[in-house]
A = this chain, B = another copy of it.
């Protein structure tokens, strides 16, 4: 797929199809200072591909959960490409996310696109209503084809931002937020970069969107459009993760050998977007609204972390078993606390989904106050779960020797002897669960489970701002004044 022929091609039906679809694309992907020939075959990249592939497998294995019938195609489409037509659709996104978090133990990278298409579905409708534009129809045409092809859409929102004390048009270098640098009769040319883009290299399309509230002087920065990942002018620089190179070493030390997340910097060096793929252009007053609608979905999408949390709770319980002390009261108490915090995340997320409201365009959108409360808890609790898991793991989680030492003919048997826990458990099983906990709290998947929980979908302060705005303080003041016996305007 390239510019212009994006409607061609056969649908992706299985995870095998998906893997095949990633091959032979001439992407400019850089990793460790080299252009990567075939990203899917790179041992650091492959686990992230596997995680995304799991979304296809789930749709195959549990279509009720992970797909839905599209009103546009009349066909069953992957839920990640579906516009929410009912409250249950919104809730089912959460159920699917928790399950994928459980089966991959990491970020499966497909939520941004799902949440972006839902936000744009209603936003384009409302812009058209307000401005007489024709974005909505364009968007639906494009989305229908995406559903048919069953591709992966990424959402490219986060600009690199430069000096955080200044907005887009206030930067010394105007490119630090993505912007239109040229207008042609058939489309626009954009320049800039999007930071820590989830799963970009594993996607087929990206939705370019502004990252923040814009003012009149930021008009060139007000651009939304769909861009194929293979488009000319795009460069991907792969982000390093803690302990990433262990994926190149072997199996035992990786912790979770099959799955990992992926973030990269995507540089747009004058990328052309044809007019029929432009879904907002210059309507600056809708930029903040887009962020709000997107984050109403995306901040409760972080219930995926409760699925990852399930894995970590399981790992903590497993190591307690292997150490011989699953019944100690303080250990049970810590597992209860982990479970409690994990369910708090999940509960708030699905509460936001259950309490969805319908937009004029017909789709259902989660409750912003609950979604932001969910995400704010996500910026805290996984860190506490991680701390408790390390507590139960014991110090060996950070002092285990390497796989090669375990394989060494002389030292290996000694390690086997001395890292034994409960006599009936193979030492390597004990090592495996310790490495998994390391992976999730200090290794590759700590990136997704911890730091991404903090900053993904916006940093904590962004959630606080929405919570402040969504809290009807005047109503609460009236309640208090009334009970306090304060007359009048108080």
Contact = CB atoms under 8 A, between A and B. Distances in A.
Given A105-B483, A318-B490, A483-B436, A418 B265 contact: yes
Interface string A254-265: 011111000111
A402 B483 contact: no
A267 B412 CA distance: 12
A155 interface: no
A30 B398 contact: no
A311 interface: yes
Contacts of A237: 401, 405, 411, 414-415
A240 B455 contact: no
B473 A313 contact: yes
Q: Which of A351, A402, A473, A486 has the most B CB atoms < 10 Å from its CB?
A: A351
Given A243-B243, A476-B314, A374 B396 contact: no
B483 A258 contact: yes
A154 to B, nearest CB: 14
B451 A239 contact: no
Interface stretch (A125-133, A159-167, A291-299, A357-365): A159-167
A408 B330 contact: no
A432 B486 contact: yes
Contact of A176 (B318, B411, B418, B483): B418
A242 to B, nearest CB: 4
A476 B313 contact: yes
Interface in A322-340: 323-325, 329-330, 332-333, 335-336, 339-340
A123 interface: no
A218 interface: no
Given A30-B405, A172-B423, A432-B485, A336 B471 contact: yes
Contacts of A91: 354
Given A102-B479, A318-B477, A464 B239 contact: no
Contacts of A31: 401-402, 405
Interface string A330-356: 101101100110011011101110110
A481 B253 contact: no
Contacts of A490: 318, 429
A271 interface: no
A19 interface: no
A401 B343 contact: no
Interface in A20-54: 30-34
A486 B265 contact: no
Size class of A's contact patch?
35 or more
How many copies of this chain sit in the oligomeric assembly?
4
Contacts of A408: 30, 33
Nearest to A240: B402
A379 B391 contact: yes
Interface stretch (A56-64, A111-119, A202-210, A439-447): A439-447
A385 B243 CA distance: 21
B165 A239 contact: no
Contact of A380 (B343, B387, B407): B387
A405 B259 CA distance: 24
A422 interface: yes
Contact of A369 (B343, B400, B401, B467): B343
A450 B455 CA distance: 21
Nearest to A414: B267
A173 interface: yes
Nearest to A472: B310
A484 B401 contact: no
Interface in A118-147: none
A488 to B, nearest CB: 9
Contacts of A323: 163-164
Contacts of A230: none
A175 B478 CA distance: 31
Interface string A218-250: 000000000000000001011111110110000
Contacts of A422: 162-163
Given A311-B480, A336-B471, A339-B467, 13 more contacts: A31-B405, A105-B480, A166-B324, A173-B420, A175-B417, A240-B400, A242-B438, A313-B476, A317-B476, A335-B471, A347-B347, A350-B355, A390-B450
Q: Which 7 A-B pairs have the closest CB atoms?
A: A33-B404, A314-B476, A239-B399, A314-B480, A196-B399, A395-B455, A347-B351
18 contacts: A33-B408, A91-B354, A176-B418, A238-B405, A239-B400, A310-B475, A340-B373, A340-B467, A343-B467, A350-B351, A379-B391, A380-B387, A387-B454, A398-B451, A435-B484, A436-B483, A436-B484, A442-B450
